[in-house]
Structure 1
Amino acid sequence: MPSQDEILKAKILVVDDSPDNIDLMLEILRDAGYSNVTATMRPAQVCPLHEEHNYDLILLDLQMPELNGFQVMKGLKEIEHGGYLPVLALTAQPSFKIAALEAGARDFISKPFDLMEVHKRIHNMLEVRLLYKELAQYSRQQQELALHDPLTGLPNRRLLEDRIGHTLQHSARVRGKSAILYLDLDGFKAINDTYGHGYGDDILKLVAERLVSVSRKEDTVARIGGDEFVIVLGNLAGKGDAHEPATKLIEVISEPYFINDLTLQLSTSIGISIYPDDAGTVDALLGAADAALYEAKRAGKNRYCCAQHDMTAAESNLQSHSVTSVV
């Protein structure tokens, strides 16, 4: 639950066409300890102000010139996509109370004000609003965790497949090409077995950082399990555009890793598949890149292999390119 201090620091906007009413409400709020309170007499400003400040509570008079409170709430609904309208309606008309709730207001205060009622309704609404925001934030965090690898923070397979799908759609629209680079670390198991999983985890985090550092901002770098990573390249003019990034990745992975008092070394093997040359779907492209990766391993590791869709024999279905790294 929100603390009392959080409630008193909540962002509040008072909206009324009467200067006397605004002065009275501001005095009530400040005397109660609320420290982040602003006001406007122009209802047309409410939506732009809420978009900018994301108020926790809007005390809204229903009877105003130019725009009335009901029209303001209609505009606020377009901003509050989550469905929670933080509006406490102010009205001297008993018939407006139910109409205000039906229009989206969460509660109402009758004019003339009853001080005890004002304090209680404002406090209760803020408590609910802040709790709602906490739950929404928690939901966003859980969604992020569901889509990202907890060790490296990179996209996981679920998010990766979605990103590949979007990349393929874009390539199809512009009649371009895209590539899948499927990486596996050579020698990682030996490090894990010899020095323990703590060192292995440190290696994986450092590898993730290096992969991101040599990739373009628009590329997707994902970890899909164990020591396997996938990089999605979009906006390629031809198949050869994937070769230079693959070489760069092999070189950066081969650089030494300094962990505690140890200097560790490993390399990477990469399989490459190209859209639309090698396959036209997410699963098929990943499968082609995985097969190319296997061939890179079989051909001696520390190299990349490219799937060749126009060849049929297993031995000639891939082209292998080794990389000599200078350490």
Structure 2
Amino acid sequence: MPSQDEILKAKILVVDDSPDNVDLMLEILRDAGYTNVTATMRPAQVCPLHREHCYDLILLDLQMPELNGFQVMKGLKEIEHGGYLPVLALTAQPSFKIAALEAGARDFISKPFDLMEVHKRIHNMLEVRLLYKELAQYSKQQQELALHDPLTGLPNRRLLEDRIEHTLQQSARSRGKSAILYLDLDGFKAINDSYGHGYGDEILKMVAARLVGASRKEDTVARIGGDEFVIVLGNLAGKGDAREPAAKLIEVISEPYFINDLTLRLSTSIGIAIYPDDASTVDSLLGAADTALYEAKRAGKNRFCCIPHEVIAAQSQVNMQKNNIPSIA
């Protein structure tokens, strides 16, 4: 629950076309200890102000010239996008109370003001509004955790597959190519075994930072488990455009790692798969890059390798047999 201090620091906007009513409400709020209170007598300014300041509570008079409170609430709904509309309607017309609630106001205060009622309704609304914001932030954090690796902060496999799909769609539209670089760290197990998982975790975080620093802004760098990383490259002309980034990544990963009083070294092996040359779907492209990674490991590690064409042909043959498609000699 929000604390009393958080409630008193909440952002409040008073909207009324009467200077006397504005002054009275400001005095009530400040006497109650609210410290972040502003006011406007121009209803057309409410939506721009809310976009800029994201108020926790808007005390809104319903009867105003130019724009009435109902019109203002319509604009506020577009800003909140289905969220909690923080409007407490102010009205001297009993018939407006239900209409205000139907228009999106969370509560109302009758004019002339009853001081006890004003204090209670404002406090209750702010408590609910701040709690709503806490829950929304928690939900956002949970969503981030579901899509990102908790150690490195990089996209995890779930988000990676979505990013690959998006990149393939863009390549298909532009008739271009894209690439998957599948990385596995050489010698990482030895560091974990010799110095413990704490050092291993530090290495992984440093590797993640180096990969991001060596990649383009539009590329996706993901960790998919253990010491395996994947980089998605879009907007390529051919395999040559993937080889240079791969060589650069091998270079930056091979630089020494300084952790406490130790200097540690490791290298990386990289498998490269090109869309649409090597595969045309997310799963098959990842599989092709994994096969190329195996070839790089088998060839001596600390290098990159593109999937051999004979391997692609063999995989195509297996896929055709699975689907009962005859091969052409």
Give your verdict on TM over 0.5.
yes
Matched, 1:256 2:239: no
Q: State the Cα distance separating 1:236 from its structure 2 match.
A: 1.2
Give 1:173-252 correspondences, 5 Å limit: 173-252=173-252
Correspondence 1:26 to 2:34: no
Change in 2 beyond 3 A, CA 1:111/1:303: same
Q: Provide TM-score, normalisation by structure 2.
A: 0.93
Q: State the TM-score, normalized to the length of structure 1.
A: 0.93
Residue 168 (structure 2) aligns with: 168
Structure 1: tracts of 5 or more residues without a match: 316-327
SS of residue paired to 1:25? helix
Q: Match for residue 116 of structure 2?
A: 116
Contact 2:292 2:308 in 1 (8 A): no
Quote the sequence identity (%): 91
Using the alignment, how far apart are the partners of 1:303 and 1:114 within structure 2?
77
Alignment deviations for residues 39-75 of structure 1 (CA, whole Å, 9 cap, x no partner): 1111111111100100000000111111111111111
Q: Which moved more, 1:260-269 or 1:3-12?
A: 260-269
Deviations 1:146-173, CA, capped at 9 Å, x for gaps: 1111111111111111111111111122
The answer to whether the aligner puts 1:79 opposite 2:79 as a matched pair is yes
User: What are structure 2's unaligned runs of at least 5 residues?
Assistant: 316-329
User: What residue number does 2:94 align with?
Assistant: 94
1:119 to partner: Cα distance = 0.5
Question: Separation in 2 of the partners of 1:52 and 1:312?
Answer: 55
- Partners of 1:90 and 1:111 within 8 A in 2: yes
CA distance in 1: counterparts of 2:217 and 2:273, whole angstroms: 20
2:181 maps to amino acid:
L
The amino acid across from 1:171 in the alignment is S
Matched, 1:303 2:313: no
Which residue number corresponds to residue 267 of structure 1?
267
Residue 159 of structure 2 aligns with which residue?
159
**Following the alignment from structure 2 to structure 1, what is the Cα–Cα distance between the partners of residues 199 and 21?**
66
Question: What residue in structure 2 maps to residue 8 of structure 1?
Answer: 8
Give the Cα–Cα distance (whole angstroms) in 2 for the partners of residues 231 and 151 of structure 1.
17
Question: How far is the alpha carbon of 1:308 from its aligned partner?
Answer: 4.5
Q: Matched residue of 1:30: which SS?
A: helix
Structure 1 distance, partners of 2:308, 2:19, is: 76
How many residue pairs are counted as aligned between the two chains? 315
Shift of 1:103: 0.8
- Determine helix, strand or coil for the equivalent of 1:66: coil
Aligned to 2:148: 148
Amino acid at match of 1:102: E
Q: CA deviation at 1:310?
A: 7.1
Q: Which runs of 4+ in 1 moved over 6 A?
A: none
Matches of 2:59 and 2:264, distance apart in 1: 62
User: 2:57 maps to what in 1?
Assistant: 57
SS where residue 90 of structure 2 aligns? strand
* Conserved 8 A contact 2:278-2:312: no
2:284 alignment counterpart: 284
Displacement of 1:185: 0.6
The whole-number CA distance in structure 2 between the counterparts of 1:114 and 1:311 is 81
SS at match of 2:218: coil
CA distances 1:186-231 after superposition (whole Å, capped 9, x unpaired): 1111111122111111111111111111111111111000000000
Aligned residue type for 1:9 = K
Distance 1:289 1:57 in 2: 53
- Once residues 185 and 286 of structure 1 are traced to their aligned partners in structure 2, the CA distance between those partners, rounded to angstroms, is 17
Bigger drift between 153-162 and 257-266 goes to 257-266
CA deviation string 1:100-129 (max 9, x = no partner): 111110000000000000000001000110
| CA positional deviation for 1:265 | 1.4
Tell me the amino acid that sits aligned with residue 69 of structure 1: G
2:312 and 2:18 map into 1 onto residues whose CA distance is 82
Contact 1:179/1:275 (CA < 8 Å) preserved in 2?
yes
